[in-house]
A and B are shown apart, each in its own frame.
Chain A
Amino acid sequence: MGGYTVGELGAIFVMQGFSGLSLFCVYLLMALGLAIIFGQMGVINMAHGEFLTMGAYATVFTSKLAVDHFPALVGVYFPFAIVLGFLIAFGMGYLLEVLLIRHLYKRPLDTLLATWGVSLVLQQVFRSAFGAREVSATLPAWLLGSVKPTESIDIPLNGLFMMGLTLVLSLLVFIFLFRSRWGLKVRATTQNRVMSGGVGINTHKVDRLTFAVGCGIAGVAGAVFTTIASTGPTTGSLYIVDTFLVVVFGGAASLIGTVASAFSIAQAQSVMEFFLTSSMAKVLTLLAVITVIMARPEGLFSIRVRK
């Protein structure tokens, strides 16, 4: 393949692998949020990408605030930005559920169209409020630079930090869903709404919270996103189709499947990008994913149930 030695190829794979890590983190955080919403609740949120954009803008503006008014805080603003991104996205998600989603639970195709409309509205709001050009956050110094374990391998620090953050967040989601009382209520409601209501669970509140949490996670994805690229009004919409494919590929009901799926898709695309043009890499990845979904529509990680 183009005259690389085995050693060089190995180094390339490792480096592309790590550059793929940042993409993996974004995919995973987006997919986790969507898997909760779609996989557990069956709700399609085509505006999910806009929650990423929300979190990204929140980070950019926190960064601007720090740079312009509190230069001493530039080193530490980032964690605040992450929390802010989560809260804003959470709040907007909550609002969206109350105003729109809860009327459309039995109609998935209609939810798809309605949330597409929300996505258009939000994109226009971003454009009018923040301008059409892309903006970036100023990364704190400790996130810049890289680590060099060997001569030819160069691992960016922000990638490692994001990896760590994503792992922590995934763990938090897991704990929330499978080890907390709220998580129990969520799982009960999605498996048997009527009975859950019958035992006193406020299913409407559970739905609202679940949806909002899913959106909040996308907000965090947005904050992560600012470390690898700049943000514009349509940034989020670029990831929405990929994110759905990640969720469906892994099996909408399985969180582990989502992790595995995000990892393989991000890595496949990243590695291929080195050898092909980035658009061909994207095409091949999409094609591979679609083929798998056709061969196994229930996703890679799902159990067989009586219909």
Chain B
Amino acid sequence: MTNNEVLLAIEDLTVSFDGFKAVDALNLYVNKHELRAVIGPNGAGKTTVLDLICGRTKATAGKIQFKEKDLTKLSEHQIVHLGVGRKFQTPSIYGNLTVFENLEISFPRGRTVLGSLVFRRTQDIFDRVREVAKEIFLDEFLSLEAELLSHGQKQWLEIGMLLIQEPELMMLDEPVAGMSVRERERTAELLGRICRNRSVIVIEHDMEFVKSIAHKVTVMHQGKILAEGTMESVQANEKVIEVYLGH
């Protein structure tokens, strides 16, 4: 299940906003084909870590090693080209384009100005879009305007838009927020499927969901790592209980 090669190595990562350290000398390692859940109270810095990895926020110190490159030195689209995909907390899809077009835009071809001018919708693109749409349960909705999807379906679409890029590291920020129980089950199954070929980092608050999918859990608090391990060990950890799980 887990290949012991490290895919993502975060070392001494710090970012401060006007004196406030949102992330404080963080060390985090993610292996290949691992599904890591990151949990913690609000304001712990979880989303900021994802922002730092994908380049949305610039770090003040530290480095992020991914495939022999330091991500802190690259721009957002370069990081995407390397193989990192990021899903946002609120579904970020192109509302006025169809499901098909949403997936098509995310297909990794014609990414330069010239490339996009001469881009043609060839058969292999059609096939690949249909394939991904099937995985995210949206193969019946390809010509529907994305704005009209349900909240849960929008989340799936965004996941699909990442999948079609074939990333080696996928980062999902609260993928099941606002989903029904049935939708959560399907999402858990989807995530289980996709992490066979890649690593996934998931930020979530739903403990049952995390338990059902995570290989390893990292608990964050005030910009630092509080505890790390399997869900059981983390739930039994005294510090974690005090800070986060209530009592």
A and B touch in the complex (CB under 8 A): yes
The docked-state distance in angstroms from the alpha carbon of A304 to that of B58 is: 11
User: Is A72 close to B, CB under 8 A?
Assistant: no
- Inter-chain contact B57/A305, CB cutoff 8 Å: no
B17 → chain A closest CB, angstroms: 6
- Inter-chain contact B56/A304, CB cutoff 8 Å: no
- Inter-chain contact A305/B17, CB cutoff 8 Å: yes
User: Is B48 close to A, CB under 8 A?
Assistant: yes
B229 → chain A closest CB, angstroms: 29
User: Is B18 close to A, CB under 8 A?
Assistant: yes
The docked-state distance in angstroms from the alpha carbon of A306 to that of B18 is: 10
User: Which residue of chain B has its CB nearest to the CB of A305?
Assistant: B17
User: Is A303 close to B, CB under 8 A?
Assistant: yes
* B51 / chain A contacts, CB cutoff of 8 Å: 306-307
User: Is B146 close to A, CB under 8 A?
Assistant: no
- Inter-chain contact A307/B57, CB cutoff 8 Å: yes
Chain B facing A: main interface SS: mixed
The docked-state distance in angstroms from the alpha carbon of A303 to that of B17 is: 8
* A305 / chain B contacts, CB cutoff of 8 Å: 17-18
The docked-state distance in angstroms from the alpha carbon of A307 to that of B50 is: 13
* A307 / chain B contacts, CB cutoff of 8 Å: 51, 56-57
List B13-30 residues whose CB lies under 8 Å from chain A: 17-18, 22
* A303 / chain B contacts, CB cutoff of 8 Å: 18
* B18 / chain A contacts, CB cutoff of 8 Å: 303-305
List A268-307 residues whose CB lies under 8 Å from chain B: 303-307
B105 → chain A closest CB, angstroms: 23
* B48 / chain A contacts, CB cutoff of 8 Å: 306
User: Which residue of chain A has its CB nearest to the CB of B48?
Assistant: A306
B37 → chain A closest CB, angstroms: 23
List B198-223 residues whose CB lies under 8 Å from chain A: none
* B17 / chain A contacts, CB cutoff of 8 Å: 304-306
The docked-state distance in angstroms from the alpha carbon of A74 to that of B56 is: 62
The docked-state distance in angstroms from the alpha carbon of A206 to that of B48 is: 33
* Other 9 A-B pairs with CB < 8 A, given A304-B17, A306-B48: A303-B18, A304-B18, A305-B18, A306-B17, A306-B22, A306-B57, A307-B51, A307-B56, A307-B57
Closest 8 CB pairs of A and B: A303-B18, A304-B17, A306-B17, A304-B18, A305-B17, A306-B22, A307-B56, A306-B48
Binding site for A on B (CB under 8 A): 17-18, 22, 48, 51, 56-57
13 cross-chain CB contacts under 8 A: A303-B18, A304-B17, A304-B18, A305-B17, A305-B18, A306-B17, A306-B22, A306-B48, A306-B51, A306-B57, A307-B51, A307-B56, A307-B57
